[in-house]
Structure 1
Amino acid sequence: MATRRPLDGNTASPEQLVAEMVEWTTEDFLAAEPYPLPEITETMLSDYLDQLASPSEKGGSFLPGGPPSPVDDKDSKDAGLLAGFPYPPPFNQHEVLVPYTTYPYCTIGKLFFKQGTGSYVASAAAIGKNGIWTAGHCVHSGNGQPSGWSTNLVFVPGYKDGAAPFGQFTMKQLFCRTNWYQKGNPGGLFEDMGAAILNPLNGRMLSQVVGWLGFAWNFPRNQIWTSLGYPAAPPFNGMRMFQDTAPYANDGAVPGSPSPIGIGCSMTGGCSGGPWVLGLGSTNRVNGHNSYRPNDQPLEIYSPYFGDNAHSLMQLVVQ
């Protein structure tokens, strides 16, 4: 029996038995609400201003991704001064027009889950074996309680217009950073990171079916990312995948260190947990995700900075 890595600042849910899962129907998919993208206000942050800290960064590490199994390079590292942009920062956003069943888009999908009394949708990405990456608020409400865990979570890679071309992958166990679990919004937003181990489907691991994205951590902030996800709150409807290419804009003003990273983006609720990819179509490395936005800045979105904390959480679901 394999030994699970120590949690190291992460928190795990109880394992969910397959027998406890209830299959999501097409009607369930359509009835689920977009999970509200967490927002912050100056009032919420006023009690935390003295806790703000400078970002902590190292040289940069990564693991490669890979395409799916048959059925039977180098990212830019700008070590100079941070450039950034005033609000609204630049971005190029559009619907994904290539087939979602092609790599790397097939690694990205829609997340369906229940939290409290609600049924919600968000976004996630395959990161190896049966592991997926998403936002912490998609797997736990951040209330510090065992009752805050999401339940009946399924990942639908390549979802489009209600169709599940690769099927539904059900959850086995959920994980998030302990700071998110205990502090929520806004105190835990700097570690609003979530991950899950899924059950194989028809005897095949998720990575065998759709492949997986690589993973990068401790990289400089001056990068250009492609953010992907399924925005579902107006003016979007959650039926299609969108992508947003944008450079570093600024650091997030929330408590905790390292500070989150902001880019230009107008995606709405439902995009939560969608990956920020370095080198989309080439190196394909997850280096952030859609986490939150200031409530008065709808053209900006933030991700936790991916340091050793992100790597620690990632290892729990792919090793």
Structure 2
Amino acid sequence: MSEHPESKKPANGSVGVPAGNIVSPVQEAVAQSEWLTEDFLAAEPYPIPDVTPEQVEEFLQQQLDSASQSGSTSAGGEPGSSAGIADAKPTAGHSYPPPFNQHEVLVPYTTYPYCTVGKVFFNQNGGSWVASAASIGNNAIWTAGHVVHAGDNKPTGWSTNMVFVPGYKDGAAPYGQFAVRQLSTRLAWYQHGNPGGLYEDMGAGIADPLNGRTLSQTVGWLGFAWNFDRNQVWTSLGYPAAAPFNGQRMFQDTAAYANDGSVPGSPATVGIGCSMTGGCSGGPWALGFGSTNYVNGENSYSINGQPLEIYSPYFGDNAHSLKVWAVGS
């Protein structure tokens, strides 16, 4: 499989980080022996952030000015459609609980494009955690912002000792463990966390090559779509690990746009039907999964008391900026 085309562009990290993103220090390589099978099994599912109407109201009172920040509504670039928010066609949406079709992935996880999705194991604030992520080109992975940083506006909030295990199943790592040496998220998540930064709860990481091959050369990569109409049908993938799931198998969920989220910030987040639990955080929402394979969202947060719905940040120019940094670095 050929290298991702954007990998031949100059590394953005060498000329500065794109505005609105914040990057962790480069971390020491994680030894292959650091995460053993028993460590995989002992890692706790990172809880999906949930919000209550009371939290949102309190934040809006405290952050009245910052809550009116405007997101990107400009026409998007490749791949695919350039329809922006302003041009979006009317959406029907769904009331709670919205419909969805969810099941365990039954094909071999080494089959493309499933092999691009995997689990991340990492330390954060003294705990050992597990979440989900996907390969997006070169050595880059995409996940949720809360997976790479605690959202507490502190340099100590960065996750450490992270490894990406594509195609993970029942404790097995068919492609090995890719050590993640640098992380990035959006400033809104870094500074405000839950709920004020959920509209930019996006995370990316740069993995070290393994056995002389980049991540993309090893498992391929998913495309990326931004500034698309909200009225879409996505395939959400991840490794739910909190009950009733156990985190050892990949699940996929097919669902249409249900509604816009009510957390502060702009552009508004996007909700779909889904019953996956903690551990699925950061798993990709793909448009045309199995054909075009464009990442256009991720498992981010849920509403307290509504376990049959999950939300993603809207992917505009902000998401594209973070992706360009990760793939180009």
Which of 49, 54, 66 is residue 38 of structure 1 equivalent to?
49
Q: Which residue of 1 aligns with 2:120?
A: 111
Matched, 1:237 2:246: yes
Which of 181, 185, 195 is residue 194 of structure 2 equivalent to?
185
Q: What is the SS of the residue equivalent to 1:159?
A: coil
Matched, 1:25 2:41: no
How many pairs are equivalent? 310
**Amino acid of the structure 1 residue aligned with 2:23:** A
**How far is the alpha carbon of 1:215 from its aligned partner?**
0.3
1:168-317 matches, within 5 Å, as 168-317=177-326
Query: Residue 224 and residue 53 in structure 1: after superposition, are their counterparts in 2 closer, same or farther (change >3 A)?
Result: farther
In structure 2, distance between residues paired with 1:203 and 1:266: 39
**How far is the alpha carbon of 1:82 from its aligned partner?**
1.5
In structure 2, distance between residues paired with 1:203 and 1:84: 47
Could you tell me whether the CA contact under 8 Å between 1:61 and 1:219 is conserved in 2? no
Could you tell me whether the CA contact under 8 Å between 2:75 and 2:83 is conserved in 1? no
**How far is the alpha carbon of 1:6 from its aligned partner?**
2.7
In structure 2, distance between residues paired with 1:205 and 1:25: 22
In structure 2, distance between residues paired with 1:135 and 1:117: 19
TM-score (norm 2): 0.90
TM-score (norm 1): 0.92
**How far is the alpha carbon of 1:61 from its aligned partner?**
2.9
Q: Which residue of 1 aligns with 2:77?
A: 61
Matched, 1:97 2:110: no
Query: Residue 100 and residue 215 in structure 1: after superposition, are their counterparts in 2 closer, same or farther (change >3 A)?
Result: same
Which of 138, 141, 164 is residue 132 of structure 1 equivalent to?
141
**How far is the alpha carbon of 1:76 from its aligned partner?**
11
Could you tell me whether the CA contact under 8 Å between 2:91 and 2:231 is conserved in 1? yes
Could you say what the CA RMSD is over the residues aligned between the two structures, in angstroms? 2.1
Query: Residue 284 and residue 171 in structure 1: after superposition, are their counterparts in 2 closer, same or farther (change >3 A)?
Result: same
Could you tell me whether the CA contact under 8 Å between 1:58 and 1:220 is conserved in 2? no
In structure 2, distance between residues paired with 1:75 and 1:58: 9
**How far is the alpha carbon of 1:117 from its aligned partner?**
1.1
Unpaired runs of 5+ in structure 1?
64-72
Q: What is the SS of the residue equivalent to 1:287?
A: strand
In structure 2, distance between residues paired with 1:60 and 1:39: 30
Unpaired runs of 5+ in structure 2?
1-9
In structure 2, distance between residues paired with 1:245 and 1:23: 35
Q: What is the SS of the residue equivalent to 1:298?
A: strand
CA deviation map 1:268-312 (0-9, x unaligned): 000000000000000000000000000111000000000000011
**How far is the alpha carbon of 1:62 from its aligned partner?**
3.2
In structure 2, distance between residues paired with 1:48 and 1:142: 14
Q: Which residue of 2 aligns with 1:80?
A: 89
Query: Residue 156 and residue 236 in structure 1: after superposition, are their counterparts in 2 closer, same or farther (change >3 A)?
Result: same
**How far is the alpha carbon of 1:4 from its aligned partner?**
4.0
> Share of identical aligned residues, percent?
68
In structure 2, distance between residues paired with 1:53 and 1:249: 24
